[in-house]
Amino acid sequence: MKQKGAEDQPEHILRGVGGSPGIVFATVYRVHAEDAPGLDRVINPGEISGEIERFKTAVNETRLQIDQIQQKVRQAISQGDAIIFDVHKMVLDDSAFFDETIRKIERDRVNAEKALRGVTLRYGEVLSALEDEYLRERAADIKDVARRVLRNLAGEKTHALDELHEKCIVVAADLSPSETASLQRDLVLGFATDVGSSTSHTAIMARAFGIPAVVGLGDVTHRVETGDQILIDGTEGVVILNPSVASLNKYEALARQRDSIQSGLAGLRNQPAITRDGHRVVLSANIELVEEVSEVRKAGAEGVGLFRSEYLYIASRTLPTEEEQLAAYQGVASQLAPDPVIIRTVDLGGDKFASSLNLPPEINPFLGFRAIRFCLAQPTIFKTQLRAILRASAHGKVRIMYPMISNVGEVIRANLILEDCKGELRREAIPFDEHIEVGVMIEIPSAAITADIIAKQVSFFSMGTNDLVQYTLAVDRVNDRVAHLYEPTHPAVLRLMKMTIEAGHARGIWVGVCGQMAGDPLMTHLLLGLGIDELSMAPAALPAVKEMIRSVTLVQAKRLAEGALREDTAAGVLAHCRELMARVAPEILELVK
């Protein structure tokens, strides 16, 4: 139902970034931007020790509160999502951040509130100015932690979001991870924010809770007030202020349609991914955590095509030991056996870093010291991981995959280190799979161009299309100003992919895709026609992709790919993909952005 009098107000549509899928219509609860509590003041020399103790006490109280929130998220969702708050605890435990606040109290003779605000502002400005989106998001973590400390300094124990009494859509300039985690899930039906991206903690938490969200709207907080009614479509990234009856009816029907399609796809869980003329494709899942194995099974995946092992490094304040890594790899391998698990060796650098390594910043980290380059330069760290993977191979079908390969020399050097690890384990009488398969990710143009050479050294290829597109087109995929140039169907990308597939098949090895293209139903027929043997994706994407495979013949897919390779533009390729999709699986078009 619309609010009384709302029919006199015009409908207005805002477009942002889809943070978490779903459609919801409800009353707005607007979170007003407000300064953290506590007045700033100059103090007397005799007050300095007391202010320092106030600060230390507030920090300890904040740490306990974050522990409680983390435990709540761990019980409600998963260990993986709860580890987000380790970043907050790392801020509190950061000696530079902590000590600088104390020094400011002593040097400037100001109270704890003023000192903390000054340090937070400086850190926030530095991080917010960086081009790297992941690091910019960390500025929000620091501000969130500081707000909690400031509230504890002022003796405040509650927040407006803790006092909701009815169902609503929360609208805010931004929502911190801790605020999102503490949302009352039975009352908060969705949220919309001025800022944010699909990689921000806000979006991650929204997806984990199953709350529809649209982020990056710019000024939605200036356009609504508490009590207004809005509709949000987290799939399309659309927010409608004062939706008309026609819009409400349209989106209600769309929500029912999407729910019906998803329910129907769930029935494919135990069906094979096989084309109408009998060609079979392997569908695997991408994961980061042992806890995600249940989702792999639920989706009907045939194992794991990409285990992102760097998560074990990012989530820990110290380098994970061989035994810690073994526990994780063995846990996944044993649960999924006899299905395979492909463990990608640690891919740190770019937008992923581990605090324990204290790596210096780089001007262009995506082209810098990362992934296999880091591993080859740090053989002790690399060998610890390889030993753990080899040991896990005794408990299931484990495969190894090297990331960011640019030349065959890197593969040869990595394999020599692997052979050293095998020799050590033999001497120690520790069992492992003597015939473990080793593959590489093809995500750099030089690797695709020399795929025929690299194929001689490996058992399989898996194309990381996110980076392959980025490096081929010289487009930073997280830069809003050039996002329109990021085109997975660009002719150059397709030619490199086709070159890689042909090189692999000529050598008798299989070729897969584990990038975002693998989980996009609009790309399925194209990849199938190019000759892909395996697709690995987020578990939730698998049912729709399976339906796309089962809806077409291999002959149709090959005809599509042949036409795509003759196209001059990315848009032209997409048009062909949509045309075939509309003919053989029109219902899936409703699930494609």
Q: Which of 201, 395, 525, 576 is catalytic?
A: 201
Helix-, strand-, coil-residue percentages of the chain, each rounded to 5: 55, 15, 30
pLDDT of 355 reads: 47
The average pLDDT across 563-571 equals 97
Asked if residue 394 lies in contact with residue 433, where contact means CB atoms within 8 angstroms, the answer is: yes
pLDDT digits (tens, 9 = 90+) for 101-110: 898 898 988 8
- pLDDT tens digits, residue range 413-427? 999 999 999 999 999
Please give the backbone phi and psi of residue 487, each rounded to the nearest 5 degrees, phi first.
-125, 100
What CA dihedral angle connects 277, 282, 286 and 287, to 10 degrees?
130
Tell me the pLDDT tens digit for each residue of 343-396: 999 987 654 444 445 555 555 666 777 789 989 999 999 999 999 999 999 999
Distance CA 475, CA 485 (A): 7
- The answer to whether 514 is a known catalytic residue is yes
Q: What is the pLDDT of residue 356?
A: 46
Q: Is pLDDT of 7 > 70? A: no
Statement: residue 131 has pLDDT above 90: no
Span 551-574, mean pLDDT?
97
What is the set of domains in the chain, with CATH numbers? Answer: 6-34+160-262 (3.50.30.10), 45-154 (1.10.274.10), 276-554 (3.20.20.60)
Mean pLDDT of the chain: 85
Average pLDDT over residues 457-481: 86
Q: How far apart are CA 63 and CA 93, in angstroms?
A: 9
Dihedral angle of Cα 116, 117, 123, 129, to the nearest 10 degrees? 180
| pLDDT tens digits, one per residue of 167-185 | 999 998 887 655 665 667 7
Share of the chain above pLDDT 90, in %: 47
Quickly state the pLDDT bin for 320 (edges 50, 70, 90): confident
User: Encoding tokens for residue 182?
Assistant: 């503490």
Q: Is the pLDDT of residue 28 over 90?
A: yes
Which residue among 168, 375, 421, 514 is the active-site one?
A: 514
Question: What is the per-residue pLDDT across 474-532, written as a single tens digit (0 to 9) for each?
Answer: 987 655 567 678 899 999 999 999 999 999 999 999 999 998 899 889 999 999 999 99
Residue scoring higher pLDDT (312 or 570): 570
Q: DSSP letter for 306, please.
A: E
Residues sharing a CB contact under 8 Å with residue 31, sequence separation 6 or more, in sequence order? 160, 161, 170, 171, 172, 173, 175, 221
135: pLDDT strictly greater than 90: no
| C-alpha separations of 283 from 361, 402, 467, 544 in Å | 37, 20, 21, 11
In whole angstroms, give the CA distance from residue 591 to residue 593: 7
* 495, 530 Cβ separation under 8 angstroms: no
CB 123 within 8 A of CB 97: yes
Look at strands 340-344 and 304-308 and give their pairing. Answer: parallel
Buried b (16+ CB within 10 A) or exposed e, 354-365: bbeeebeeeeeb
Give this prediction's pTM: 0.69
